[in-house]
Structure 1
């Protein structure tokens, strides 16, 4: 059965009264109907009308029916309460500071943006693929965690909650992420729903974030290691004087450029992982020295990391960008500055990985044997040669 081009859906709210949302390719026509009927538009795109006065409510309902028929707009009613209220009530019961915002996807194509930003797997992923989701509540914590709450399609009650990707890098690969948390079904009652989020979903999200950040750091180090080894192989295969020397210097600058693009992920995602590590509580207390070296390496890289972020923020604030060759120069300069820190991280990758895996949130105890995933031996590479810094 084809979807009507313009739909008006009515539900009720304890605080707002009648709440109406629009949907369809001609949703603006539905909005005209609501304005003609005297409803007030909220900033989020929903329309409201009070229900406290019976006579006024009847007049509003009559006007809605009349104008909808006149404009060829379909009227639908929902037995569910206003999702904006449900999201707010759940958010108020979560630990820390949370807010809830109802987002309306009036045009069918707008839902694609929602699906693209979804991190969670499971039923909510399938729901966004197979069903029309005209609105959702986004719950946001003061720490930046974002959860997506939707009515469970194909059911008369219940909700689905999932996690949204928290930055552009991860949004681009969210659906391929093996660490992503699975959505869960929530009951109608906001108190019970919040309880399920606290006891089941948030711990799963924390574990997933930990593992995703760890895999991001390890993947970055693997790329740096591979590129560094390729550079070392080339340096060892030919003379390092004359034109050969200039070629090597150019390749070292290229390595610094590319290595910075990977090492920035270490600078961003490794600190919270290190903060969770407790070597003395594991079977490898001797890793404490390695973790200290890794923390010190991050500290010495802080100036480069700050410079990178300040430059990006400055360019974003003036809606400009640098030419490609200028970006390359900046990355090369920063990459050369953090080469010693990269060396430390390449050398101590193995103790970092096993300690970070042991520190996974919800880990029932200290591992007494090998880490959960077998660690392949990683020989410490020779120190990257610090080539000449590039000039402005």
Structure 2
């Protein structure tokens, strides 16, 4: 990031609050002290304000601000834009559905780094957070869990950048191939809302659908590979490289290892499968005969919900690594019939889900009530496991 004054005060105007100031920099506490000594009041969200209605009082406060800033070595910067929270609230009020807008102040330059891990973006917004100073941002949320991030466009005197956070099911968002691109918004809230509603939200919806689909298909491929390897070992009595099993009594242990590994992957299917299936309309597709297979997939998910509920219930009880491995092994073997159904009908699922990719200027649909919690990445299995190659 380019260097900035360690003690900085950024001023803007607000139709609601009057004069708004944000302390910023490595010595932001000193900047905040300047504002307090000049008579500014802190408001929710972290900014400081001074009313503009009483002009003599405003002039006196402005004079005090300049004087105190000089005493403390603070730099005063005047923003050409109005207060960011005002624009965010105006944008939220004009978007389809119910949205809230909350200002977040990043007093210290490094604080903005906290946003990067959950940001799901392949455009300028991510680059701005990585390479530019972003003193404040607005988080926009709607009633179905969509979260967006709005910032002032760095290096420009007007305009804004808007992008998305990943949904709570995901935490590995860095360079994710399905990530949507952030967009530049005009300075007028009505026009900006139109761009978001007709361009960004439909694209976000498509990207999220494709990410969920890729997640499920990847999980099924992991399960399929390990399942086929295990079956081949059981049938031949040899590892896949031709080395004979030392003892057939190793098979149950391999099955347990497979169950552990497969359950970690199948949780992705339980997580994202329901919402994907809910969008499939085989009667409107080129393959209306797929309806029966999709119903089998729904039934398999329903049959696994009791197992998943037990898995979630144990999350606050089991603490040892070995205890979790044993539990996951049991869950995976119990859910094996459901997994085999999904493996058998995976091609049908994929073509129907790809045909169901949402599009057009639409509000995002609510997630399925059966979506489950995210899972850790599955570990690599050892030579003695079913994953032996």
Q: Normalised by the size of structure 1, how large is the TM-score? A: 0.87
- How many angstroms does 1:180 deviate by? 1.1
Query: What residue ranges of structure 2 are gaps of 5+ in the alignment?
Result: 239-244, 362-389
- How many angstroms does 1:244 deviate by? 2.9
- How many angstroms does 1:243 deviate by? 7.7
Distance change in 2, residues 1:289/1:363 (3 Å): farther
C-alpha distance in structure 2 between counterparts of 1:274 and 1:108, whole Å: 43
- How many angstroms does 1:24 deviate by? 1.0
Query: What residue ranges of structure 1 are gaps of 5+ in the alignment?
Result: 316-320, 365-392
C-alpha distance in structure 2 between counterparts of 1:18 and 1:329, whole Å: 61
Aligned to 1:171: 171
Kept in 2: contact 1:34–1:64 (CA 8 A) = yes
Distance change in 2, residues 1:226/1:363 (3 Å): farther
Secondary structure of the structure 2 residue equivalent to 1:38: coil
C-alpha distance in structure 1 between counterparts of 2:308 and 2:50, whole Å: 51
Aligned to 2:286: 283
Aligned to 1:343: 340
Higher alpha-carbon deviation: 103-112 or 186-195: 103-112
C-alpha distance in structure 1 between counterparts of 2:312 and 2:187, whole Å: 43
C-alpha distance in structure 1 between counterparts of 2:206 and 2:256, whole Å: 38
Matched, 1:249 2:252: yes
Kept in 2: contact 1:136–1:149 (CA 8 A) = yes
Higher alpha-carbon deviation: 41-50 or 252-261: 41-50
Aligned to 2:372: none
Aligned to 2:330: 333
Kept in 2: contact 1:100–1:138 (CA 8 A) = yes
C-alpha distance in structure 2 between counterparts of 1:31 and 1:189, whole Å: 30
Could you say which structure has the greater relative contact order, defined with CA pairs below 8 angstroms and 6 or more residues apart?
2
C-alpha distance in structure 1 between counterparts of 2:20 and 2:311, whole Å: 46
Distance change in 2, residues 1:82/1:310 (3 Å): farther
CA RMSD of aligned residues (A): 1.9
C-alpha distance in structure 1 between counterparts of 2:258 and 2:41, whole Å: 59
Q: Normalised by the size of structure 2, how large is the TM-score? A: 0.87
Higher alpha-carbon deviation: 21-30 or 243-252: 243-252
C-alpha distance in structure 1 between counterparts of 2:55 and 2:158, whole Å: 28
Q: Which of 342, 353, 358 pairs up with 2:355? A: 358
- How many angstroms does 1:116 deviate by? 2.4
Secondary structure of the structure 2 residue equivalent to 1:148: strand
C-alpha distance in structure 2 between counterparts of 1:337 and 1:358, whole Å: 32
- How many angstroms does 1:129 deviate by? 2.3
C-alpha distance in structure 1 between counterparts of 2:60 and 2:19, whole Å: 13
Q: What is the count of residue pairs matched by the alignment?
A: 355
Aligned to 2:65: 64
